[in-house]
Amino acid sequence: MQEQITNIKKLNKIANNIRQNIITMLLKAGSGHSAGSLGLADVFTALYFNVLKHDPKRPNWQERDRVILSNGHICPVWYATLAQAGYFPKRELWTLRQLGSPLQGHPRYHSAPGIENTSGPLGQGISVAAGLAYAIHELQKSHENVFCVTSDGEHDEGQTWEAVMFAAKHKLPNLTVIIDRNNIQISGQTEQVMPLDSLKDKYQAFNWHVIEIDGHNMEEIIAALNKAKSIVERPVCVIANTIPGKGVDFMEYNYEWHGKAPNTEEAERALRQLSNLSSRTSV
């Protein structure tokens, strides 16, 4: 099984390394999604290096916890985290979006070790995760956890709320939805495109347990996800308030970086900033 890392400084350093790899991946690909990928690095680090029960050497281990990525366009952070955890060599990251690469612009089920679902069309991930959690808990009578990472903008989709109702009806104790609440989507600010607040009130109205956190505070993330695993009477929603483009000043909060990759000059500037940040968070 993967070693559980509890040192917060070490986890923050891993997250920063993942961000640097994301920038390099996107530069080499010449396309991709920067803002959300950078914004979720802390959440993915907490999952794969502290919270999940998983084994990179046995990616299909039956007793593993599962991660379902609904907002598949931010897969660079998933790929970079999986490589950092040892699921496949880091050199494969530099093939992102290239013809024949297992690491395409949206994930494909089992295209690489650790990839648990195919995603592209937004709004479907909670349905996939709820079905998987139901099968594990109700049909297999097992206890593995399912974590679904989804975006705030996906909550514009009606199917999302159908899945939320399904999970609540069956009181799925092994399902945790993590919402990347970064307040942007491809065409602007979420509250201008389609107001979502209060997501907390909405999920509570559907009889979910809701935890709201700072999505860049490693201690908060770990505490919330571990608490989610301990709640057994209903599904859990963790609303992670994040900064899109986290760690790169000219990307932060800017929705134009939702689906944009850096050019050489921008990547060099971003990597300098992240390198300086990494030196300040050294163990």
DSSP assignment string, 92-159: GGGGTT-TT-S--SS--TTSSTT------STT-HHHHHHHHHHIIIIIS-----EEEEEESGGGGSHH
Q: What is the mean pLDDT of residues 14-27?
A: 98
Q: Is the predicted pLDDT of residue 282 greater than 60, yes or no? A: no
Q: What is the mean pLDDT of residues 37-66?
A: 97
Q: What is the mean pLDDT of residues 72-95?
A: 97
Q: What is the mean pLDDT of residues 98-105?
A: 96
| Those residues with Cβ within 8 angstroms of residue 95's Cβ, 6 or more apart along the chain or in another chain | 101, 102, 103
CA-CA distance, 73 to 36, in Å (whole number)? 8
CATH of the domain at 72: 3.40.50.970
pLDDT tens track for 224-266:
999 999 999 999 999 999 999 999 999 999 999 999 999 999 9
- Angle between helix 158-169 and 125-134 (nearest 10): 20
Tell me which residue range forms the domain holding 30. 8-280
Spell out a b/e string for 45-84, using b for 16 or more CB atoms within 10 Å of the CB, else e.
bbbbbbbbbbbbeebeeeebbbbbbbbbbbbbbbbbbbbb
In a domain, 2, yes or no: no
pLDDT tens track for 206-230:
999 999 999 999 999 999 999 999 9
In a domain, 1, yes or no: no
In a domain, 252, yes or no: yes
Look at residue 187 in the predicted model and tell me its pLDDT. 85
Q: What is the mean pLDDT of residues 116-123?
A: 92
Specify the residue for token string 């994040």: 242
In a domain, 54, yes or no: yes
Please state the domain count of the chain: 1
In a domain, 126, yes or no: yes
In a domain, 275, yes or no: yes
Q: What is the mean pLDDT of residues 60-78?
A: 97
In a domain, 163, yes or no: yes
Look at residue 188 in the predicted model and tell me its pLDDT. 85
| 8-state DSSP, 68 | E
Q: What is the mean pLDDT of the chain?
A: 95
Look at residue 283 in the predicted model and tell me its pLDDT. 46
Spell out a b/e string for 146-182, using b for 16 or more CB atoms within 10 Å of the CB, else e.
bbbbbbbbbbbbeebeebbebbbebebbbbbbbbbbb
Task: Give residue 281's pLDDT band: very low, low, confident or very high (50, 70, 90).
Answer: low
| 8-state DSSP, 195 | -
- Percent of the chain at pLDDT > 90 equals 91
Q: Is the predicted pLDDT of residue 49 greater than 80, yes or no? A: yes
Q: Do 63 and 132 form a contact (C-beta atoms < 8 A)?
A: no
Task: Give residue 269's pLDDT band: very low, low, confident or very high (50, 70, 90).
Answer: very high
- Percent of the chain at pLDDT > 70 equals 98
Specify the residue for token string 């956190």: 213
In a domain, 231, yes or no: yes
